[in-house]
């Protein structure tokens, strides 16, 4: 609660680590940058003429482009229909920098073919920051035909479980950091993006085997977590910055990272894995990727639980979350624990980004778009507890997916945020959180 | 032993001739710990009552409950004929029952005089709709400023009038908090360790202030660890231990009570409390 | 590089209506955060509520512009009540998350095709400012000198925008110097202390939320009157954090802070962007493409926000003794 005086070390106190950090960041991104071939995502034709703002995409069924699909693009005083060519490609010039909606016209789909994600007939293309945006509608077996309501619920619940497990891995990262340092890290979404795009780089672009790409992604993400703490957060803790200040610093840092990612990886939406081998059981049709992702999520969550409850470091982590000064007085090196937490959080969140990217698509905004869901998950569960974050993430996953049974699909994120607010009304401490000490 | 405060003999939870505050069955649990468990307590009107007890006895928690800063698990309490259970803290203060905090809450980003002005109630300029029409509140503002200056002088803070409260010493902040509480002419003042950290040179005058309050008809309830002071100014002493009221009575009697000595020093001690300097770790 | 053109562009930004719009939102945020300590991360929503309220008032309900402006302000009051009643009892960090969530919910609601009949969906709304233009008292022509030459409609927009800024700043100055403002400053530091003095803290926080929200709603209206359309994409979190940067640059607990902070912010932003753009054009900077220059803008905002909070949290004008972040 100190008024914010500059520390005795003065402004230079932060310069050295920041310089190191920026330098390291530049090296990492420089490396990635130069590794990205310019043609990586260049599957679609360039726009013919007019404005330089383009929305484009490719409609594929089992890897093959589909011709004659109609897409309605709407934006500020703009509405036009694009049609895919023989290779399934389409593109459209749009007049102004704005957010556009692209709606696939279901009646233009061939017989027996439907959307892989039947709920999402509308996707957004945000051209406020970038000049081109790509919008992809993967096709698959038509699942629309009169699905009975119970089957629909099963399908949605399965998708909710999948999303919830993914969110849980990343949310535990937020929760561990909050628990040990009190920081609500608004730059966490960028760690998800970082994981997804790193995987894309090594797996889709450099064509390394998936397992090696995964190992590299997790290692780099863990190193990224280490770096953030070493170069930014530890010095700020040393300056005794208040928690609200730290929170705003993380917002600035998140914006900074987001745009670095945009400049390095451009605004295109990346398809990281084109392999959507269908797996069917009961009414649920899913992909091998999703099954694998869920299995990895469950194993990871179990491993985290074991780590926190069985290992010495895990127990120390919980002790620090509970009461840092008490933990310090029992001989726990709090700074060391926090450093470990950042590394673990980085690795977990990078993994979450990778799993997300392998199942869905990813671009520079992916992590930011799920950041609020992550906060919703940790807040719902009760800030600072890993079990709470997991439960909260599963609730959010189910709400997001099941809400589309009753709400338009473009409100499914809104639904989960409304649930967050409603729960806080009833239980300000979250579902599993304990009441705070007052006074 | 007879006295003119309690009805009949003094005993834990005894009835008072003229109580201002009557609490019944007030309990508060934190997890498994019962911090407060008061079966019956009456505070005598117009007297100075000391609430003593070892650290962790539940004195601060009881203050929090009675003034609406915390919610009890069970219990009712009646202040001046009004049932206060469930009444929010700011309304409790408006009814004339004003408290200070053990961990001082002087507003360090306001000046000393602004801290004092904030203590006044019924300032029409604190209503948003009237706030930008200065003529509606400037007269009252001058009145409360005069009153604040008067109190500051009595508490020897007048030299610091324009300083930010952050610039005051710990003891001075305690004084400021107490002076601020008096701005609203409360009927019952509840002081949580008012002497802690106050310069010994000032404690004597602080004691006089508290006695003056009594002269003006204000009831005082205060938590204190310094037994000399308790003995010196209080008319009545209530002793808490482990959440319960374990003894009550006039200071001279209570200090010799075996239950009190046990509460403070454990069962084996048999020392007169007045001769022991009780060092208690401050803070929560 | 054409330095003169760059400077003229930057100077023009100083008094552009968009700058005025952001400044209004920052003045509102000063009431919330600077004076009352409320961590409101949903300021974009207040601006959006004002903008949509006015546009819908005109287009759907056929209100005259003046009435529609009052309607937009009323919408902001209602939004503040809906947002504040449940959340103002929460801890500061919860409040931050809930306000940002509420702002996103509002944006999704404006974006969804379900209400497109009223909100315009992703296309947004336009053609609501004809009456506003018609109210312009200035005859056709060009006005001004040097870099500040405007057509009559540009002049009209600037006068309305900046007059609103001045009125809002004076209003905030008056109320903050009153006993009411004193209570808010007390709450900013320690709610319990103020409660113990008999003030209804919740009511004060709600009033502050409403007042700052209405001022931001006016900012939103200026914003869309200038652009002639309302789009859901404008009111994302970037908008909110730009306002935070403006506010922290000038000084959160000051009256002049948001104004000078806003002018300086857009001046510096335009200058750096133009200079980087120029360097890209002449090939000195070859790792950026021209469209990436606009992206660098946000990168700079992110860094500026970090640096300000770390090194000068009281802002340019702030008094270190009077400004602090709680917690
Ligand atoms: N908010 C709280 N949460 C949990 N335990 C608390 C809380 N406040 C007080 N306690 C516990 O209640 C007991 C009474 O504390 P307190 O009322 O502060 O004692 P005193 O003021 O007599 O020293 C202590 O054991 C303390 O640890
Ligand atoms: Mg105490």
Q: Count of residues for chain B?
A: 284
What are the pLDDT digits (tens) for B100-136? 999 889 898 899 999 999 999 888 889 898 888 889 8
**Is domain B10-106+171-284 given the CATH code 3.40.50.300 in the classification?**
yes
Q: Hey, what domains does chain C have and what are their CATH numbers?
A: 3-322 (1.10.3470)
Distances (CA, A) of B22 to B40, B43, B61: 7, 7, 17
pLDDT digits (tens, 9 = 90+) for A355-372: 999 888 888 989 998 998
The residue-averaged pLDDT of A3-13 equals 36
C-alpha C223/C-alpha A19 separation (Å) is 38
User: In the prediction, which pLDDT does B202 show?
Assistant: 79
Pocket of ligand 1 (CB under 6 A): A 437-438; B 30, 33, 35, 53, 55-61, 284
pLDDT of residue A139: 80
pLDDT, residue A224, reads 96
Residue A288: helix, strand or coil by DSSP?
Answer: helix
- For residues A402-417, average pLDDT: 84
Strands of B97-99's sheet, edge to edge?
A: B97-99, B188-192, B219-223, B48-52, B236-241, B244-249
CA distances from B142 to A166, B120, B147, B151 (A): 63, 12, 9, 14
Pairing of strands B48-52, B219-223: parallel
How much distance in Å is there from the Cα of B123 to the middle of ligand 1? 35
H or E stretch at A199: helix A188-199
Residue, of C194 and A36, whose pLDDT is higher: C194
CB A90 within 8 A of CB A73: no
pLDDT for B281 beyond 60: no
Residue C280 CA to ligand 2 centre (angstroms)? 65
Q: What is the pLDDT of residue B133?
A: 85
Cβ neighbors of C284 (< 8 A, separation 6 or more) are: none
Contacts of C104 in chain A (CB under 8 A): 372, 413-414, 417
Q: What percent of chain B has pLDDT over 90?
A: 44
Sign of CA dihedral C251, C255, C259, C260: negative
Which among C325, C326, C327 is the top mutation candidate for probing chain A, defined by the most A β-carbons within 10 Å of its own β-carbon? C325
Q: How confident is the model at residue A87 (pLDDT cuts 50, 70, 90)?
A: confident
pLDDT of residue A142: 63
Q: Where does CATH 3.40.50.300 sit in chain B? A: 10-106+171-284
What value does the mean pLDDT of chain B take? Answer: 85
Max CA separation in chain B (angstroms): 67
Atom of ligand 1 nearest to the CA of B59: 22
Per-residue pLDDT band at B151 (split at 50, 70, 90) = very high
DSSP annotation of C113: G
CA of A179 to the centre of ligand 2 (A): 27
Which one is predicted more confidently, A194 or A282? A194
**Is the pLDDT score of A432 beyond 70?**
no
Whether the per-residue pLDDT at A289 is higher than 50: the answer is yes
Average pLDDT per 10 consecutive residues for chain C, totaling 327 residues: 79 90 97 93 96 95 95 97 86 81 93 86 86 90 82 92 97 94 94 94 96 98 93 91 92 90 91 85 80 83 90 80 58
Q: What is the pLDDT of residue A39?
A: 37
Give the Cα separation of C288 and A264 in Å (integer).
10
Residues with CB under 5 A from ligand 2 (ion): B 60, 102
Q: How many CB atoms lie within 10 A of CB A30?
A: 12
Asked if the model's pLDDT at residue B272 lies above 50, the reply is no
Q: Read out DSSP for A233-262?
A: IHHHHHTT--HHHHHHHHHHHHHHHHHHHH
pLDDT of res. A27: 53
> Is residue B186 within 8 Å of B98, Cβ to Cβ?
yes
Separation between Cα atoms, residue B230 and residue A94, nearest integer Å: 82
CA distance linking residue A24 with residue A36, whole number of Å: 19
Query: Each residue of B218-256: pLDDT tens digit?
Result: 999 999 888 888 888 899 999 998 889 988 888 888 877
- Report the C-alpha gap between A187 and A227 in whole angstroms: 14
B62 Cα nearest atom in ligand 1: 17
Return the number of CB contacts < 8 Å for A and C: 192
A402-416, A424-438, C29-43: range with highest mean pLDDT? C29-43
Class of domain A150-426: mainly alpha
Average pLDDT, chain A: 81
Task: Kindly report, residue by residue over A89-125, the tens digit of the pLDDT.
Answer: 888 888 888 888 888 888 888 877 778 777 778 888 8
> What's the CA gap between C279 and C260, in Å, rounded?
28
* A70: nearest Cα among A31, A22, A109: A109
pLDDT digits (tens, 9 = 90+) for A129-149: 778 888 888 787 665 556 777
The predicted pLDDT at position B9 comes to: 77
User: What value does the mean pLDDT take over residues A240-265?
Assistant: 91
pLDDT band at A346 (very low <50, low <70, confident <90, very high): very high
Indicate yes or no: CB of C123 within 8 angstroms of CB of A126.
Answer: no
Residue reference for tokens 């280490």: A226
At A21, the pLDDT band (50, 70, 90 cuts) reads low
Domain A50-141 has CATH 4.10.220.20: no
Residue A150, Cβ density class (10 Å: 0-12 exposed, 13-18 middle, ≥19 buried): exposed
Question: How large is the ipTM?
Answer: 0.88
> Which ligand 1 atom minimizes the distance to the CA of B55?
23
Q: How many residues does chain A have?
A: 439
CA-wise closest residue to A133 among A73, A203, A197: A73
DSSP string, C125-190: EE---HHHHHT--SPSSEEEETTEEEEHHHHHHHHHHHHHHHHHHHHHHHHHTSHHHHHHHHHHH-
Intervals of CATH 1.10.3470 along chain A: 150-426
């Amino acid at each position: 609660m100190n008024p914010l005086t500059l520390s005795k070390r003065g402004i230079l106190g932060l310069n050295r680590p920041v310089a190191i950090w920026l330098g390291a960041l530049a090296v990492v991104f420089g490396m990635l940058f130069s590794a990205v071939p310019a043609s990586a995502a260049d599957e679609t034709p360039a726009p013919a003429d007019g404005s330089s703002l383009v929305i484009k995409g490719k409609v594929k069924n089992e890897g093959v482009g589909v011709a004659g699909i109609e897409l309605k693009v709407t934006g500020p005083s703009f509405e036009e229909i694009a049609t895919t060519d023989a290779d399934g490609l389409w593109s459209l010039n749009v007049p102004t920098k704005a957010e556009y909606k692209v709606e696939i016209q279901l009646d233009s789909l061939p017989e027996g073919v439907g959307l892989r994600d039947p709920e999402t007939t509308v996707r957004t293309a945000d051209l406020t920051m970038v000049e081109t945006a790509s919008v992809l509608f993967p096709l698959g077996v038509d699942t629309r035909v009169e699905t009975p309501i119970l089957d629909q619920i099963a399908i949605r619940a399965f998708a909710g479980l999948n999303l919830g497990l993914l969110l849980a891995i990343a949310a535990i990262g937020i929760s561990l950091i909050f628990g040990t340092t009190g920081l609500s890290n608004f730059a966490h979404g960028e760690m998800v993006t970082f994981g997804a795009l790193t995987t894309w780089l090594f797996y889709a672009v450099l064509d390394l085997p998936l397992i090696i790409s995964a190992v590299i992604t997790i290692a780099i993400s863990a190193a990224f977590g280490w770096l953030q703490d070493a170069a930014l957060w530890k010095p700020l803790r040393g300056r005794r910055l208040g928690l609200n200040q730290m929170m705003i610093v993380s917002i600035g840092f998140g914006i900074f990272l987001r745009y670095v990612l945009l400049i390095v990886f451009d605004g295109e939406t990346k398809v990281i894995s084109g392999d959507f081998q269908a797996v069917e059981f009961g009414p649920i049709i899913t992909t091998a990727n999703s099954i694998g992702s869920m299995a990895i999520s469950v194993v990871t969550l179990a491993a985290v639980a074991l780590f926190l409850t069985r290992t010495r470091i895990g127990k120390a982590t919980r002790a620090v979350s509970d009461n840092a000064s008490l933990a310090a007085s029992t001989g726990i090196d709090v700074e060391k624990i926090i450093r470990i937490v950042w590394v673990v959080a980085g690795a977990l969140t990078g993994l979450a980004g990778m799993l997300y990217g392998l199942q869905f698509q990813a671009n520079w905004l992916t992590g930011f778009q799920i950041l609020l869901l992550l906060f919703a998950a940790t807040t719902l569960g009760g800030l600072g507890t890993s079990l709470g974050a997991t439960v909260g993430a599963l609730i959010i996953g189910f709400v997001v997916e099941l809400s589309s049974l009753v709400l338009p699909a473009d409100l499914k994120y809104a639904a989960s945020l409304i649930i967050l607010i409603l729960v806080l009304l009833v239980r300000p401490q979250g579902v599993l959180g304990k009441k705070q000490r007052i006074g | 032993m007879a006295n003119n405060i309690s009805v009949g003999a003094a005993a834990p939870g005894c009835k008072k001739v003229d109580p201002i505050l009557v609490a019944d069955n007030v309990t508060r649990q934190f997890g498994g710990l019962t911090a407060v468990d008061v079966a019956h307590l009456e505070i005598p009107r117009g007297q100075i009552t000391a609430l003593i007890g070892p650290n962790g006895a539940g004195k601060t928690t009881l203050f929090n409950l009675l003034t609406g800063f915390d919610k009890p698990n069970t219990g009712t309490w009646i202040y001046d004929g009004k049932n206060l259970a469930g009444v929010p803290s700011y309304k409790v203060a408006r009814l004339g029952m004003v408290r200070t905090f053990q961990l001082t809450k002087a507003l360090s980003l306001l000046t000393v005089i602004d801290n004092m002005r904030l203590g006044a109630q019924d300032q029409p300029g604190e209503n948003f709709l009237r706030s930008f029409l200065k003529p509606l509140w400037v007269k009252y503002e001058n009145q409360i400023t005069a009153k604040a200056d008067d109190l500051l002088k009595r508490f020897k803070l007048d030299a610091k009038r324009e300083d930010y409260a952050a610039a005051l010493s710990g003891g001075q902040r305690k004084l400021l908090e107490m002076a601020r509480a008096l701005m609203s002419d409360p009927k019952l003042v509840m002081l949580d360790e008012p002497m802690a950290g106050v310069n010994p040179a000032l404690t004597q005058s602080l004691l006089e202030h508290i006695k003056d309050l009594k002269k003006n008809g204000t009831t005082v309830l205060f938590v204190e660890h310094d037994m000399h002071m308790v003995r010196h100014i209080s008319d009545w002493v209530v002793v808490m231990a482990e959440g319960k009221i374990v003894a009550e009575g006039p200071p001279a009697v209570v200090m010799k009570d075996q239950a009190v000595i046990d509460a403070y020093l454990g069962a084996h001690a048999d020392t007169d409390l007045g001769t022991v300097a009780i060092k208690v770790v401050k803070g929560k | 590089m054409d330095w003169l053109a760059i400077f003229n562009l930057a100077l023009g930004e100083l008094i552009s209506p968009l700058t005025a719009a952001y400044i209004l939102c920052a003045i509102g945020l000063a009431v919330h955060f600077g004076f009352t300590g409320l961590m409101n991360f949903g300021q974009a929503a207040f601006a959006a509520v004002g903008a949509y309220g006015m546009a819908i008032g005109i287009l759907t309900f056929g209100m005259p512009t003046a009435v529609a402006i009052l309607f937009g302000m009323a919408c902001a009051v209602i939004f503040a009540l809906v947002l504040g009643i449940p959340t103002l009892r929460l801890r500061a960090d919860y409040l931050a998350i809930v306000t940002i969530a509420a702002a996103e919910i509002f944006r999704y609601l404006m974006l969804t095709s379900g209400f497109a009949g009223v909100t315009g969906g992703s296309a947004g709304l336009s053609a609501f400012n004809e009456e506003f233009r018609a109210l312009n008292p200035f005859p056709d022509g060009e006005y001004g000198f040097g870099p500040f030459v405007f057509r009559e409609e540009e002049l009209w927009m600037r006068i309305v925008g900046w007059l609103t800024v001045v009125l809002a700043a004076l209003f905030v100055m008056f109320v903050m110097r009153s006993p009411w403002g004193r209570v808010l400053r007390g709450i900013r530091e320690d709610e319990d202390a103020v409660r113990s003095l008999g003030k209804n803290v919740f009511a004060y926080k709600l009033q502050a939320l409403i007042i700052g929200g209405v001022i931001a709603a006016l900012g939103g209206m200026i914003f869309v009157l200038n652009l002639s359309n309302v789009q859901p994409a404008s009111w994302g979190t970037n908008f909110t954090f730009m306002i935070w940067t403006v506010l922290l640059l000038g000084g959160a607990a000051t009256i002049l802070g948001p104004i000078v902070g806003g002018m300086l912010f857009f001046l510096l932003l335009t200058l750096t962007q133009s200079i980087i753009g120029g360097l890209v054009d002449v090939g000195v900077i070859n790792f950026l493409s021209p469209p990436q220059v606009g992206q660098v803008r946000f990168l700079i905002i992110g860094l500026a926000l970090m640096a300000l909070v770390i090194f000068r949290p009281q802002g340019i004008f702030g008094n270190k003794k009077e400004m602090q972040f709680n917690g």
